[in-house]
Structure 1
Amino acid sequence: MTDLGYLCIMKRNGMEFDGLKPATGSGKKLYMETYGCQMNVGDTEIVVSLMQGEGYVHTDNIAEADVILVNTCSVRDNAEQRVWGRLSEFKKYKDSRKGVVVGVIGCMAERLKEELMERERIVDIVAGPDSYRDLPRLVRSAADGARSVNVHLSREETYAEISPVRMDRNGVSAFISIMRGCDNMCSYCIVPFTRGRERSRDPQTIVSEARGLFTEGYREVTLLGQNVNSYAWKTPEGGTIDFPTLLKLVASVNPLLRVRFATSHPKDLSDKVLEIMSCMPNICRCIHLPAQSGSNRMLRLMNRKYTREWYMERVAAIRRLIPDCAVTTDLMTGFCGETEDDHLDTLSLMRSVGYDFAYMFKYSERPGTKAAESMPDDVPDGVKTARLTEIINLQNELSLAGNRRDVGKRFEVLAEGVSKKRADQMFGRTSQNKVVIFDGAGHREGEYLCVEITDCTSATLIGKVMGA
């Protein structure tokens, strides 16, 4: 096993956890590009693991690759357009080196399988999110001249026993997928059609993976799912392990292991989750709670299954049970039929919550969704852009105000690496997921530091490390 890059095998609770690193050697080379969400990053690590099992070696140099795979996202149109552009660039590698295989995997593969196989015959294989186990066979077939597609959606696949190859650079933070798919059927969203129905992963494999990562030196894990609050594992005895229980199990691995999670659907965020967070300091004080809109009319059209009032009650519960918790969000502007009053409702929600950070974007119609089939995309692009600009400007103000409130305070910061701007500085994050820049002299990645905040921008805290 050593020539395939296996680092270690650890036995815990009768289970095995394989801690994997990218392999090195003279085998065939695999190059991957990843677009989209954290779930896609986690999927790429699973794919690399599966391909290493076939003797492939991961490379960052596309020019030497025997297999080029692009892991795709279909949530917004611009992500798909970037992939189409990259496929055109991949053609030169196929033309320059005989036998190079190009594959498209992930959500775009699921949605556009026919078009991907037809366009310029660049693509040799197409594999959906539940078909990654079949990739070695698909690659072998492509090497023999066959072009293949597997976009079967599964109700059971979770890749639970596959040990991801960690592609992060710092060896400090890692993702752990706890479930796949989504049942929410938001009217604008393609995810249920590209990733299938919700199914949860065996909690014992999740805890074992977290324990193995800590043993390898990782100090932070993020539990991933389209809606982590829906996690539910049926036990052989007929009981159910829910997300709060899983969260406590993972946080109990070691008090020095930070635990984050994403994403929480507002309709399912329970007090039980908040109570577990409040009594376990190593569960990070940050909740990503996508609002999408502050207008009840828009929320109904989006099929979000909650009201503005429900959302604000959940925020109030967070403030009550975890006073130091940061709240971040997703905001969409320009959804079908959105009026100026709807937009103003979103701005007022932002002010009421005082978000620490937000992902903000314009609505783009996704073929196959309820919105695309029955709701006109009738907000002019210029209006969408103007509203998005207002949202971004307001969020910058809110982020700056929140960061200024942190000046003078001290936080435990997990050091993650060298600052991109200055080699003598390091960066890390607080429990609230805020980036802090500090003097790096004498410090290392993975170290917990007490940092006093001395200054800030809207995006970053600046601090000095305090003595022990």
Structure 2
Amino acid sequence: MARYHIETYGCTSNRGESRAIESALRDAGHYRAAGPAEADVAILNTCTVVEKTETNMLRRAKELEEETTDLIVTGCMALAQSEAFSDVDARVMHWDEVPQAALNGECPTPGPGVEPVLEGVVGILPIARGCMSNCSYCITKHATGRVDSPTIEANVEKARALVHAGAKELRITGQDTGVYGWDDGERSLPELLSRICAIEGEFRVRLGMANPGGIHGIHEELAEVFAENEKLYDFIHAPVQSGSDEVLEEMRRQHKVEKFREIVKTFDRELDHWTLSTDFIVGFPTETEADHELSMDLLREIRPEKVNVTRFSKRPKTDAADMKGLGGTIKKERSKAMSEAKREIVGEVYEGMVGDTCEVLCVQPGTGDSVKCRDPAYRQVIVQNASEYGIEPGDFFEAEITASQTMYAFGKPV
């Protein structure tokens, strides 16, 4: 599990965001380190209220850059003035992206059991526990074991209970949702999603992380289910991890790059617009410069709308921990290059939304008098001055996209 260090500056809202980040990290099996030098990842939650504060934020970011192997910068200054951190070797991102970015390429590791949770209007439904993979870098397998899938009927009843309790967004989660049912010799995810979408009520469903190796055998059926059900966000999270088949083999991933491409092509064919979220691990011990370039080429070719870039970090009790690692400078340079390409690609996506009108679901409060919403492809839309419009979590409404930042758009009700 990862060790994290987090520092928070600014108002109570920022402190609330940091608490949410820490809660997600702890739920995924990670724990707080004694300090940045002992952490696998350091998180700096910034403030930008006055010029002196900005100077202090940049100074602290530079200090943390020297103290840790991986730095994430988030918060108000990071979002409003991301270019200010261009000389800092850090990943700059929205608060919501931090927990996933800090996972180090490992599967999420929720707490014991697979019981649903209702947080505001968001229902979290773990459909199974464990996975069928044996990735050489991941320690999660030691904690979760092989996949254990409750029946479709049991999961549908849990989903129905969440909807009846007020859930407007159901998040289908698991270490690897794509292998749901494999322990019973079935590939049951498409049927489960169809059954959940048939539940009476107005709500949306987001499918959680599914490894390409798990969904490749059902990707055509799965894409059809997405096309047939408006309740499903047109969004999948399929972590490719590398553009090099040689590296994927050393990682013991259960897919090759071409399988990943086939999944993407199928969803492109079935859906007019959808969001692909994927992950890349840079600096794996056997990754050559040529391997890294293959990953960069794949990123530019596929142009995913959400990308998590992680520097390889050794985990105890994993086979990759015994490999001779690459130097920190190499990993930083490769991470920086990929993060820059990612920001360009993702920024173009949100910039291209400006002027569009779409239905969104208000999911949760944002900073100050703002709310966070999701469009049909699960892209984030921020509505400011929400109280003036009478918008609250759980509301569906039409929004005009008025502006964008690198990782999200701004909208107003129409």
* TM-score, normalized by the shorter chain, greater than 0.5: yes
In structure 2, the partner of 1:434 is 379
- The alpha-carbon deviation at position 268 of structure 1 amounts to 2.5
1:390-405 to structure 2, matched below 5 A, reads 390-405=337-352
In structure 2, the partner of 1:407 is 354
In structure 1, the partner of 2:30 is 73
Q: Distance in 2 between matches of 1:36 and 1:336?
A: 31
Q: Distance in 1 between matches of 2:361 and 2:225?
A: 22
In structure 1, the partner of 2:272 is 323
In structure 1, the partner of 2:90 is none
> Which of 202, 223, 226 pairs up with 1:274?
223
Q: Distance in 2 between matches of 1:225 and 1:292?
A: 18
- Asked if 1:459 corresponds to 2:407, the answer is yes
SS of the aligned residue for 2:410 comes to: strand
In structure 1, the partner of 2:246 is 297
- Asked if 1:350 corresponds to 2:304, the answer is no
Change (3 A) 1:181 1:315: same
- Asked if 1:214 corresponds to 2:171, the answer is no
The question of whether the paired residues in 2 share the 8 Å contact of 1:407 and 1:455 is answered with: yes
- The alpha-carbon deviation at position 393 of structure 1 amounts to 0.9
- Asked if 1:262 corresponds to 2:208, the answer is yes
Moved over 4 A (4+): 32-38, 76-83, 129-132
Change (3 A) 1:412 1:301: same
- Asked if 1:176 corresponds to 2:176, the answer is no
- The alpha-carbon deviation at position 316 of structure 1 amounts to 0.8
One-letter identity of the residue aligned with 2:175: Q
Q: TM-score, normalised by structure 2?
A: 0.71
- For residues 139-171 of structure 1, give each alpha carbon's deviation from its aligned partner in whole angstroms, at most 9, with x where no partner exists: xxxxxxxxxxxxxxxxxxxx35x5x554x3xx1
The question of whether the paired residues in 2 share the 8 Å contact of 1:77 and 1:366 is answered with: no
1:371-386 to structure 2, matched below 5 A, reads 371-373=320-322, 375-377=323-325, 379-386=326-333
Change (3 A) 1:196 1:78: farther
Q: Which structure 1 residue ranges, 5 or more long, are not aligned?
A: 1-31, 42-70, 86-128, 133-158
SS of the aligned residue for 1:458 comes to: coil
Instruction: Choose 336-345 or 283-292, whichever is displaced more.
Output: 336-345
- For residues 255-287 of structure 1, give each alpha carbon's deviation from its aligned partner in whole angstroms, at most 9, with x where no partner exists: 512111111111222211111111001111111
Matched-pair identity in %? 26
Q: Higher helix share goes to which structure?
A: 2
Q: Distance in 1 between matches of 2:364 and 2:126?
A: 24
- Structural RMSD (CA): 3.0
- The alpha-carbon deviation at position 252 of structure 1 amounts to 1.0
Q: Distance in 2 between matches of 1:165 and 1:463?
A: 29
One-letter identity of the residue aligned with 2:211: H
The question of whether the paired residues in 2 share the 8 Å contact of 1:362 and 1:384 is answered with: yes
> Which of 254, 259, 280 pairs up with 1:310?
259
Q: Which structure 2 residue ranges, 5 or more long, are not aligned?
A: 1-18, 43-108
1:128-207 to structure 2, matched below 5 A, reads 159=113, 162=115, 164=116, 166=118, 168=119, 171-207=120-156
Change (3 A) 1:192 1:419: closer
- For residues 280-307 of structure 1, give each alpha carbon's deviation from its aligned partner in whole angstroms, at most 9, with x where no partner exists: 0111111111011111211111111222
Instruction: Choose 322-331 or 433-442, whichever is displaced more.
Output: 433-442
The question of whether the paired residues in 1 share the 8 Å contact of 2:131 and 2:179 is answered with: no
The question of whether the paired residues in 2 share the 8 Å contact of 1:228 and 1:262 is answered with: yes
In structure 1, the partner of 2:365 is 418
Change (3 A) 1:259 1:301: same
Q: Which has the higher contact order (CA 8 A, sep 6+)?
A: 2
Q: Distance in 1 between matches of 2:285 and 2:182?
A: 36
Q: Distance in 1 between matches of 2:228 and 2:111?
A: 40
One-letter identity of the residue aligned with 1:73: H
Q: Distance in 1 between matches of 2:382 and 2:372?
A: 5
One-letter identity of the residue aligned with 2:378: N
The question of whether the paired residues in 1 share the 8 Å contact of 2:29 and 2:111 is answered with: no
SS of the aligned residue for 2:170 comes to: strand
One-letter identity of the residue aligned with 1:208: E
Q: Distance in 2 between matches of 1:369 and 1:353?
A: 30
- The alpha-carbon deviation at position 78 of structure 1 amounts to 9.7
> Which of 233, 240, 246 pairs up with 2:192?
246
Aligned residues: 323
In structure 1, the partner of 2:59 is none
SS of the aligned residue for 2:143 comes to: helix
Change (3 A) 1:255 1:278: farther
In structure 1, the partner of 2:103 is none
Change (3 A) 1:209 1:365: same
In structure 2, the partner of 1:102 is none
SS of the aligned residue for 2:279 comes to: strand
One-letter identity of the residue aligned with 1:435: Q
Change (3 A) 1:448 1:310: same
- The alpha-carbon deviation at position 318 of structure 1 amounts to 1.1
The question of whether the paired residues in 1 share the 8 Å contact of 2:156 and 2:196 is answered with: yes
Change (3 A) 1:339 1:130: closer
SS of the aligned residue for 1:278 comes to: helix
The question of whether the paired residues in 2 share the 8 Å contact of 1:34 and 1:72 is answered with: no
The question of whether the paired residues in 2 share the 8 Å contact of 1:451 and 1:463 is answered with: yes
- For residues 395-418 of structure 1, give each alpha carbon's deviation from its aligned partner in whole angstroms, at most 9, with x where no partner exists: 110011111221222221111233
